Amino acid sequence: MAPTSRHLRIGVDVGGTNTDGVVLDPSRASEPDKGIVAWHKSPTTTNPSDGINNAIVTMFESSKIEPSEIASVTIGTTHFVNALIERDEARLAPVAVIRLTSQFSKHDPPCLDWPEDLRELILGHYALCKGGLEVDGVLISDIDPEEIKAQCSIIGEKGIKNVVVNGIFSPIDTTERQEERAAEIIRSELPGCTVTCSKDVANLGFQERENAAILNATVLDFARKTIRSFQEPIKRLGLHCPVFISQNDGTILSEEMAANLPIRTFSSGPTNSMRGAAFLVQDQLDEAVMVVDIGGTTTDIGLLQANGFPRQQAAFSEFTGVRLNFSCPDVKSIGLGGGSIVRIGRERLTVGPDSVGYRIKTEALVFGGSTLTATDCTVLANEEKPSALSIGDASLVKGALDAEELSQFTKIVQSKIEKVIDIMKTSPNDIPVLLVGGGAVIAPNELRGASKVLKPEWAGVANAIGAAIARVSATVDTVKSTESRTSQEILSEVEQEVKEKAVAAGAVPSSVQIVDVDTIPLAYIANMSRFIVRAAGDFDFSRTDLASIPLSDEDDSARDYTTYSRAKKTSRVKAKKEVDVLKYKPRVEDRVWYISETDLDWISIGCYILGTGGGGSPYSQQIILREKLRKGAVVRVVNPADIPDEALVGCGGYAGSPTVAIEKKSADEMQEAQTEMYKHIGKPPTHMIAVEIGGANGLQSMMIGSSTNMDVPAVDGDWMGRAYPTKWQTTPVVFNERSPIWTPVTMSDGNGAIVTMSRASSDKQVERVMRAALAEMGSQVAVADPPVTGAETKRWVVEHTLSQSWRIGRAVAKARKLNRVDNVAEMIIEECGGSTGAKVLFKGKIVGVERVLRKGHVYGECIIEGADVSGSDEHGHQRPQQYKGFVKIPFKNENIAAVKTASAAPTEEAGKEKQEDVLALVPDLIAVIDAQNGEAIGTPEYRYGLLVIVLGIAASDKWTGSARGLEIGGPEAFGFSHLKYEPLGTFVKPRSVIDEFDTKTKEGCMCGKCKDLGW
């Protein structure tokens, strides 16, 4: 038969429970049956080959379809991802990692933040080799072939067959091609070895890209055997057509690509369901749609954009406890499904989150079982309606609930779904909602926030339909200079590049469209922007070069699928004793606080909250310091009151672009800067203090002072009490006892360049010179500030801010432990002086974010609409909404103010805010925290739909006690001179952890401090 007769597409979704199949005729998509020629659902088999074969054979027989009519087969599968979830040694191979980073990332080895059992199972070897680029493409170092060959010998001796190569800024490396050159060397030295280049897997974000590449590499062998098993039924049935695997973003991969990049298929299931559902109602909708996929145990909710593709997750996602940054649909899951167990309590009724799952046909009441499920309640609720459900035996559920309980059940289900829909919406407007999945019967026909609710026919095989209609896509993520060309000119060039990339992947040229565009100016880097563009198009079935791939001669027996049978797992990792959050006490001896992992976790949470949106996430520094603690490092903290007047108190922190920070991990630049500083000073420091407690720099006094670095105690305090964008916004400058304070100052880039500025005319000049030097030092440096005396420290320090961070972090941990996240803001307030020293300013949902780059700093504003952010209405009880209207938060790296505003529209002109609308203003701290977990949300992470709580915390009297303090740290310093600072409360000095928990001091101290504390 002529090739033109090939017009049918097969979609197969191989799930953990069921294998669904559909045969689709796209030319008949507008007809009532949507072009669905045949469909089939059956239990998934141990060998997926059998399940695929059964599905296709059954559909062929039921609809008299000839193999010659099939244009393509697209398969979606969860097999690769399940291997990781189940920690299956039989399906996961050890991986070696070669980093092209020179000396960078030496303190942050691969898999450092992974679950310990997964790291031990997968990471077989790693090495740091020469290589890496700066953000502007300049070489950090070229690769050394001999160095790589030496590592190959070690890898070969260990018997490792899968290698990952990861280089600094490799996704923008189009000239040096360092990863590709290293891969060629490895393949030559280790024949039969599989090499994964990190740039082929994910985009900018060194650690997250490497994580994705390692997960990809560990399942490669299993993925290839699985894909060969997919080919077997295709061959057996005489199909001569391309076979594709569906990937995370709703597009297809050739079998060859999927065999090399299985990680791109990990989240294809939800995407297929969303796209398949939208296909079923395409004649009714021409706009974005919310897809609610209700199964037996969970409900997955995602937004399908008007361009036909799911909205992707924000910068980072997490999978099996591992942080990733590859393209993945933004799907929220809740414990609600047709099998959800319904319990009747004394005061309230609950639905889920536990479920009878696949046992519903034996355990639900309507099927003769003894467990009351959501399906039972739905059948009961519809019993008297014309639309009564024909599920099981309705008579078996009579009397299971009375009228009031049934009403409560309906409200709970409706509320749970409505709450997630509201979170997932991208605008305040109502949106069409599409209900699919076997459990969709439990959902109501009307939902708040939905312009219409649709339940299409064939929704039960929407995932297979989504696979059948998948398209081809390509993405380009690059950094370009805008010095000689406009951003628009560069964007046009990148768009053309990504279109060509999509065509090369198999798309029809005329069908390719740009579906996502993001342009991000890079902070502290002049004339540089990051461009992320994605294109998609229809597959070109005339392309013979992509028609099929031959089965490999190696292990060419798909029938021998023993690797799918899980081997018995033997854990080599000792289970760690979980810390009791409610009973934990820090170790304080002789007025010295010895930091533990728990202390570090809590301090890190608190640091980011005190960062007021800026300072950068402490996460990367936290895991490095945590690893030091695990290896025996000692970190000490002392009370500033205990420092001798003659002490020499040093300081240090990082400065530079956040984009560079996510790629170029620490070398020894901080230690180098400190060493150079004290060569200049002539004697070593006795203590270390943080320049700012807010954000990542809040951990630096402990990092620098640890026993493996300078081995000096950290001071429980800092020079800001928060985060500020410039060095001159510090309390020593406020006191102005000598000027400048911040010279000499030393900077190190970690790559051999160390600069010391001995003198300057002012602290503002120090800031300007440092910013200018950044461009020539890789746009990120470690800074060593000049030491001050102990006496000066006691006058200038914002006291006990490490203690304050610890207490805030403990409050968040307690809220989670006690399942009181709804009250996390109030618990934090109690640790910040109670209602006198802090307050909740607002609660709601982010509905608008604007950003712009000025003089290296990111300016912008965040708009929040009042909303109930708690989960307390999930039991069907409606509660009055406490916060209404809108609040805007302007920011310059850090949050500047919280101001009531009339609408969600961004303010066109600055300076129009009214004094009476101000809820809080710098120097008071304005922190935005995630209402779902209590952790801080930084200004780079602001995005539509996040449910947030805005906290206000009174600033230290070191800022508010003088006109100079307000001039340097108040509204005038941020261009808000039209507003007058009015304190939101009275500053309460944080309680010292050392004073509270030093048992020896309590027992016999004669200094009088214990008496003052009431001991």
Q: Tens of pLDDT along 827-886? A: 999 999 999 999 999 999 888 888 665 555 567 889 999 987 765 444 444 455 678 899
> Given the structure tokens 């030092």, which residue do they identify?
777
Closest CA to 918 of 984, 826, 846, 851: 984
Tell me how crowded residue 740 is: count the other CB atoms within 10 A of its CB.
20
Decide: 864 and 890 in contact? Cβ < 8 Å. no
Query: Which tokens hold the place of 133?
Result: 């680029």
How many Cα atoms within 13 Å fall on the side-chain side of residue 711? 4
User: Can you give the pLDDT at residue 857?
Assistant: 58
CA-nearest of 441, 331, 433 to 385 is 441
Q: Name the percent of the chain lying above pLDDT 70.
A: 88
Q: What is the mean pLDDT of residues 487-507?
A: 89
pLDDT tens by residue, 621-666: 999 999 999 999 999 999 999 999 999 999 999 998 777 888 999 9
Q: Give mean pLDDT, residues 405-432.
A: 85
Check residue 1010 and give its pLDDT. Answer: 45
Q: Which of 135-139, 353-357, 832-836, 908-912 is predicted with the least confidence, judged by mean pLDDT?
A: 908-912
pLDDT at 578 > cutoff 70: yes
pLDDT value of residue 67: 87
What CATH topology corresponds to 472-546? Dodecin subunit-like (3.30.1660)
Mean pLDDT, range 602-620, rounded to an integer = 94
Q: What is the pLDDT of residue 430?
A: 86
Lowest-confidence segment of 575-589, 689-703, 776-790, 807-821 by average pLDDT: 575-589
DSSP-assigned letters across all residues of 517-578: EEEEEPTTSTTEEEEEEEEEE-B-TT-GGGS--PPPSTT--TT--GGGSPPPP---SPPPPP
DSSP per residue over 881-907, as a string?
-S--SEEEEEEESEE-EEEEESSSSPP
Q: Are residues 374 and 336 in contact, defined by beta-carbon separation less than 8 angstroms?
A: yes
Q: Summarize the confidence of residues 346-369 as an average pLDDT.
A: 85
Supply the pLDDT for residue 563.
Answer: 38
Q: Which of 281-290, 329-338, 920-929 has the highest mean pLDDT?
A: 920-929
Tell whether the model's pLDDT for residue 110 goes beyond 50: yes
Q: 93-218 — its CATH code?
A: 3.40.50
Lowest-confidence region among 335-344, 532-541, 966-975: 532-541
The pLDDT of residue 1008 = 46
Residue pLDDT, tens place only, 189-243: 999 999 999 999 888 889 999 999 999 999 999 888 888 888 888 888 888 888 8
Residue 837: what pLDDT?
94
What is the assigned CATH class of domain 1-92+219-266? alpha beta
pLDDT of residue 76: 86
Kindly list the distances between the CA atom of residue 124 and the CA atoms of 166, 292, 481, 487, 570, in Å, as whole numbers in the listed order: 16, 41, 39, 44, 17
The pLDDT score that the predictor gives to residue 259 is 86
Among the ranges given (277-281, 369-373, 415-419), the one the predictor scored with the smallest mean pLDDT: 277-281
Could you give the CA distance from residue 152 to residue 415 in angstroms, rounded to a whole number? 57
Has residue 547 got a pLDDT over 70? no
pLDDT digits (tens, 9 = 90+) for 286-319: 778 898 988 777 788 888 877 667 776 655 677 7
Hey, how many other C-beta atoms are within 10 angstroms of the C-beta on 699?
27
Average pLDDT over the chain reads 86
Query: Of 148-162, 364-378, 909-923, which one has max mean pLDDT?
Result: 148-162
pLDDT-derived band at 506 (thresholds 50, 70, 90) equals confident
pLDDT at position 1012 is 45
- Do the Cβ atoms of 103 and 140 come closer than 8 Å? no
Higher pLDDT among residues 904 and 292, named by residue: 292
Domain boundaries, the chain: 1-92+219-266, 93-218, 472-546, 833-987
pLDDT at 869: 78
> What is the predicted pLDDT for the residue at 550?
44
* 478 confidence band (pLDDT: 50, 70, 90): confident
- What's the mean pLDDT in 602-623? 94
Cα dihedral value 679, 682, 684, 685, nearest 10:
-110
Q: What is the pLDDT of residue 702?
A: 98
Q: Is the pLDDT of residue 681 over 70?
A: yes
Q: Kindly report, residue by residue over 746-797, the tens digit of the pLDDT.
A: 999 999 999 999 999 999 999 999 888 887 898 899 999 999 999 999 999 9
801-817 and 824-831 helices, crossing angle to 10° = 150
Pick the CATH number of 833-987 from 2.40.390, 2.60.40, 2.130.10, 1.10.30: 2.40.390
The reported pLDDT for the residue numbered 174 is: 82
Residue 16 has pLDDT above 70, yes or no: no
> Considering only CA atoms, which of 29, 196, 168, 52 is closest in space to residue 101?
168
More reliable by pLDDT, 615 or 1013: 615
pLDDT band, very low/low/confident/very high, at 52 (cuts 50, 70, 90): confident
Mean pLDDT of 677-700: 97
The average pLDDT across 888-907 equals 84
